[in-house]
Amino acid sequence: EFIKNLHGLVETEEFIAQSLGLKKVIIVPGNSDKDGTVKKEMGRAAARFIREILFPGAVMAVTGGTTLREVAATMPVGNAPHEITVVPARGGLGEDVEVQANTIAAIIAKKLRGTYRLLHVPDNLKEEAIRLLATDQHIKELVAEIKSADILVHGIGNARELSESRGDSPEETEELISQGAVGEAFGHYFAADGSIVKNIHSLGIRLRDLRNISTVIAVAGGEKKAAAILSVLKNNHEDVLITDQGAANKITALI
């Protein structure tokens, strides 16, 4: 707290929370674009916050990404409330195994001595194939459990970077950007005003499920992500933002 006050971060937390209708904003010092240790500190702040709000029997859904990987890596082991279940928020999004939601869910569950369930949905399936998969009884039950999560912890990506990393063609990426896509979270691309530009086909949590989830936590930082973070927050589904000073200062300037 002392360090935070020194940087004027407490005022910025309050300003962003009030401006965007968030219950809580946590800002760690530094800019993760420039300093790799800052992402770890963001992960640690998120892990600490999650430990505070977990309750016995809670179901927590998590997305993938390098930021969520730090949440898992910094999650302290043991002494969590009983019978916590951790699930991936959505099926695969073309990432390396270390940063897949399934892997992150498993790591967090083991550290909290809870259980996890994995959702195996290959990437780039056609819509018909996804619809067919969704009729499988096991997958149906799992998707229902995911959608009934009490807590969602998700990353936010830059629309362009995410589209490129998912293997979209340059034309597809340009089309997405020309349609106004700025940010991405849990399979939706968001425009600067918070409206949805495109949905990525998969199984799991979708935007409409978020109103049933009591605590939605976004963990994302780095100055370069500020516009993407703001685009997702403007859709008004998040309760908590955990970010860094680099993103927070830029978000403050953009609000």
Distance CA 223, CA 76 (A): 28
Residues in the chain: 255
Distance CA 17, CA 48 (A): 19
Q: What are phi and psi of 87, to 5 degrees?
A: -130, 155
Is residue 66 part of the contact set for ligand G3H (CB under 6 A)? yes
Distance CA 221, CA 157 (A): 10
For ligand G3H, the closer CB: 22 or 72: 72
Ranked by CB distance to ligand G3H, the top (closest) residue is 65
Is residue 67 part of the contact set for ligand G3H (CB under 6 A)? yes
Residues 173-202 that bind ligand G3H (CB under 6 A): 184-185
Is residue 32 part of the contact set for ligand G3H (CB under 6 A)? no
Buried b (16+ CB within 10 A) or exposed e, 97-132: eebbbbbbbbbbbebbebebbebebeeebeeeeeee
Binding map of ligand G3H across residues 100-139, x = CB under 6 A, - = no contact: ----------------------------------------
Q: What are phi and psi of 72, to 5 degrees?
A: -65, -45
What is the Cα Rg of the chain in Å?
Answer: 17
Binding map of ligand G3H across residues 135-174, x = CB under 6 A, - = no contact: --------------------xxx-----------------
Residue 185 beta carbon to ligand G3H: minimum distance, rounded to whole angstroms: 6
Identify whether the C-beta of residue 80 lies closer than 8 Å to the C-beta of residue 114.
Answer: yes
Residue 99 beta carbon to ligand G3H: minimum distance, rounded to whole angstroms: 6
* Helical spans, DSSP H, in 22-100: 36-53, 66-74
Residue 123 beta carbon to ligand G3H: minimum distance, rounded to whole angstroms: 13
Distance CA 52, CA 58 (A): 12
Q: How far apart are the first and last CA of the chain?
A: 25
Residue 67 beta carbon to ligand G3H: minimum distance, rounded to whole angstroms: 3
Contacts with ligand G3H by CB under 6 A: the residue count is 10
For ligand G3H, the closer CB: 24 or 166: 166
For ligand G3H, the closer CB: 133 or 242: 242
Residue 2 beta carbon to ligand G3H: minimum distance, rounded to whole angstroms: 28
Question: Quick one: how far is CA 220 from the chain centroid?
Answer: 7
Give the residues lining the site for ligand G3H (CB under 6 A).
63-67, 155-157, 184-185
